[in-house]
Amino acid sequence: MRVVHGIRYARAQRFGPPVPESLGPDRLGARAPQPGIEGSEDCLHLTVWAPLGATAAPVLVWIHGGAHVSGGVDDPVTDGSRLAATQGLVVVAMQYRLGALGHLLGDGTEEGQDAANAALHDQLAALRWVQAHIAEFGGDASAVTLMGQSAGGVDVLAHLSTSAGEGLFHRAIAHSCTAERAMSLPQAARIRDAFLAAAGVESIREAADLPVAAIVRAQTRVIDRFSAAAPIDALPFRPVIDGRLLHERPLEALAAGAGAGLPLLIGSARREALPWMSGGVAEGAALAALLERIAPSASIDELAAAYRVDRGRRPELRELREAVLSEVMYRSPVDRVVAARRAARGTAETFVYDFDPAGLTGVDAGHSGDLPMVFGTSTASTSAGLSSRMAAAWGSFARGGRPSSEPSWGDAADGVFRWGAHPRMISASDPALRAVLTAAGAACDRL
């Protein structure tokens, strides 16, 4: 396996677009600045894993998650070496700007173009680098799959929804994400003004002179401020509908036909909210407070009855709160992406999955739990069979636009593929709970 870390693909300009670079000798190692990690603004680099002797191999480009404010290419869970080796892929992971440095809206005082969607522009620069240079690593630039999870999945759907990414990738995979997490200009201006106040400056021009640590501290204050009034946590730094790169929410663009010619593999974990289920709370009060914020007209009894229809038993209050949060955070949003793709009547198929490893001891069932399965990095003794099958399905999708290693996995019109102890196609995943929450207008914007 040939592994090259820290390949520069562009240079970051604070609150400005990236400056692309050709393949050169520079090797970088820092993560993007983020809470708890100093990092460096000079962080626009790639890691490439390429099988020795690869020739015109399909390429998988990975965008990491982390709530748009954290993460990096050096996470051992998403090390690409095993996936590249077992599936014959060239795997590329990109580092990009985060938080305010990646998403802050300008105010007209900055030099050049403002920084709204700098993170997305970084990712586009990385994809252009792949087009120009991946053949030197044995990759096929005409067979690029763009894949991301959580915030990275949000960005994948954003790229799928715009014309800027056309021709830069040919298939897409999105884990545990939403096509609705994009701010309007008024929302973005509100976040910008809150950031400037938290930083103690009056303009973006002044913020351009701040130490990077001061920028990270200010963005953390903004996150804390908005989280105090949120159902779970706040994500104020995220893609912006700026009228240049994004013209509408990706969901609406997808429904209008954007990306309809590219195959999409998308899904979520059945227990997405597991990491957010803090202990030591009065579950009844916590569930009532959650419903008051996201679905005031939904009753606990009604939701519990729907849970029983879906899963064959009445839930504990903690289980019901987890199921509701899982549904509104990621599962219903994924379902709406699938519906948008079907409404667009495009030429490419959509393949949907859910991840439910119940009964597999040591396998994480929550948000991000499917990643070790796909990348082959799980240490659970019970995971080997599931991991090899999931990696093969993702690999076959990257090679040909269909998860053909699982012949029963059909288009979204046929249902959902459940990954777990007994992988199989099912007609739907928790439809009764989803119907009750949808009827109640449940929403969780997380701003």
pLDDT tens string 375-425: 999 999 999 999 999 999 999 999 999 999 999 999 998 999 999 999 999
The answer on pLDDT for 1 being more than 90 is: yes
Buried b (16+ CB within 10 A) or exposed e, 147-175: bbbbbbbbbbbbbbbbebbeebbbbbbbb
The answer to which of 13-17, 55-59, 249-253, 261-265 has the lowest mean pLDDT is 13-17
Res 113: pLDDT = 64
Cα–Cα distance, 36 to 329 (Å, whole number): 25
Per-residue pLDDT band for 111 (boundaries 50, 70, 90) equals: low
The predicted-structure confidence for 184-219, as pLDDT tens digits, reads as follows: 999 999 999 999 999 999 999 999 999 999 999 999
The tally of CA atoms less than 13 A away on the side-chain side of residue 212 is: 21
Per-residue pLDDT band for 235 (boundaries 50, 70, 90) equals: very high
Mean pLDDT of 347-369: 97
pTM over 0.85: yes
CATH superfamily of the 2-184+238-259 domain: Alpha/Beta hydrolase fold, catalytic domain (3.40.50.1820)
Res 232: pLDDT = 72
Res 279: pLDDT = 75
Mean pLDDT, the chain, integer = 95
Tell me which residue of 394, 363, 377, 364 sits closest to 81, measured CA to CA: 377
The answer on pLDDT for 98 being more than 70 is: yes
The answer on pLDDT for 145 being more than 60 is: yes
40 catalytically annotated: no
Question: What is the architecture of the domain spanning 266-439?
Answer: 3-Layer(aba) Sandwich (3.40)
Return the SS3 of 296.
coil
Cα–Cα distance, 57 to 50 (Å, whole number): 9
Per-residue pLDDT band for 227 (boundaries 50, 70, 90) equals: confident
% residues pLDDT > 70 (the chain): 98
Domain 2-184+238-259 matches domain 266-439 at the CATH topology level: yes
Res 26: pLDDT = 85
Res 116: pLDDT = 87
The answer on pLDDT for 447 being more than 60 is: no
Res 233: pLDDT = 74
The predicted-structure confidence for 27-48, as pLDDT tens digits, reads as follows: 999 999 999 999 999 999 999 9
The answer on pLDDT for 121 being more than 90 is: yes
The answer on pLDDT for 258 being more than 60 is: yes
CB 169 within 8 A of CB 259: no
Every domain of the chain and the residues it spans:
2-184+238-259, 185-227, 266-439
Res 272: pLDDT = 97
Query: Could you say which of 150, 161, 332, 383 is catalytic?
Result: 150
Give, in order, the Cα–Cα distances in Å from 25 to each of 5, 9, 48, 74, 129: 11, 11, 14, 20, 14
The predicted-structure confidence for 295-320, as pLDDT tens digits, reads as follows: 999 999 999 999 999 999 999 999 99
Res 32: pLDDT = 97
Res 115: pLDDT = 66
Sign of CA dihedral 20, 22, 28, 29: positive
- Joined together, the tokens standing for residue 314 give 């009445």
Tell me which residue of 120, 161, 154, 129 sits closest to 24, measured CA to CA: 129
Q: Where in 281-437 does DSSP place strands (E)?
A: 350-356, 416-420, 424-426
Cα–Cα distance, 313 to 297 (Å, whole number): 23
Per-residue pLDDT band for 112 (boundaries 50, 70, 90) equals: low
The answer on pLDDT for 231 being more than 70 is: no
Per-residue pLDDT band for 162 (boundaries 50, 70, 90) equals: very high
